[in-house]
Structure 1
């Protein structure tokens, strides 16, 4: 069976799991190409105005694949974290794709993946149902799951160590490593789709900064930081973005010079998370510079570059001012030529 996987939304998070599992079951995989102008135009043509830009892009990828494969892989990803949900638009993707493109039910692999109540058992059960579309051999399905889980673990481990999906999926060269860093916040499908974010990773890297994302922060630390707010949200990815920001605020890593938050213009949870991060930063005496960039089909590259350059100038000014204030404070307390280490603290 020839199975098409749209290169959008949760693809960048579960690439290794999905592709390994399906290949082990004998599927002939076709992955849509990196996002381009034509794919976006198709998505905008078929997508309704109310859905966010990343979903429109996803629809463009589905349009590219629909006549080239036997089945489209669009699982109903209800939850991949216990007691939390995904965005409602992601939950409804199989229905949207089926109705917009008039694709028969049997041509969409839309089994429910739900960890909300049953945790990992719910996750595995969903993939077992997917596996039954290819074979009745349960032992073969379980074996494929084991291999997929190991592939996913290694994939996520590499990303935690500084790789980006583009390095692992398309063999793009690694970014240059710098001492100073920017925490890039946002959904993985905004951060890792270089066409819709106008290659922001490389733009910030050429400005002299390494990039840190939520995927590079220990999930246990993210969850621990989330306890600082009265009640986390219902959405897993929103919690990861907010928890990453809170962790970085209180860790006070001097290498992180600023936060850049990529958000989709139509995304309600993103607007809420961005407001919470801004409010939390304002509580800090020496708050970290924060830039929110809204991405949609009308975003221009020139405007994005201008805002990034202004933001970098602000970070440099703040760093120089902050270090100057520390030096002045130290000189008054320690005497001429004093240093922080000489105060006895």
Structure 2
């Protein structure tokens, strides 16, 4: 009985283990399917060498320039101002990319289309060029000349400091149509486009004025002297001829018609007047004194008013 009982116990244990195995088998199968397979690590490729970035700036080309007079093709050696403007494809206004005051400048620029502008005083020349990688040498022609002005009274030159000049371009019969140069000094080289100009010369600061038309030719300097008919007078209020001048006197110089030409204050102010007839009025301490006088060209003298 004991052996039988042991055998029966072993049979029941084996049956229990078999039943447990049958229950766990489906769960193990599902677990094996859900578990991800472990993949071998992928091979990492060797890094490629980094190429250096290439420059985006185009190589520069040489642009060598010179200017010449349009008339005789002689080179212009001084007085030039160069401006180089670049043209754009989008239609925006050209912009200045380079400047120079050299007579024969050399620029280093990117290849492209440029507008050259060469100024010679009040004259200028322009030209459009295309600069290639091989460089370019070119010239600009300017139709211009020079004008040098002076003044005299008879054969005696007038000191440059006492002269000033204005230069006009005549327009439609008006000799002073357009002012080109104002208050130019004697002996100054004025660079102008080729053409005819009206020059006004003022001697002193009153009415001693002369005018002339002058022609400026390309490649040449025109020397023009304007001849004045005037004189310098010294104004005095005195008690007797040749006496000491009264200080603080107010003077007025008038034409015979009453137009005021010049006013001055002092003991003996000096005035430059064109030749002609004048009236001098002197005011001092509430008293008014006057006299007529005449100015003769080239005759500098004292004009005395007697205090009565």
TM-score by length of 2: 0.21
Higher strand share: 2
Q: Which has the higher contact order (CA 8 A, sep 6+)?
A: 1
TM-score, with length taken from structure 1: 0.20
Structure with larger Rg: 2
Bigger fraction of residues in helix? 1
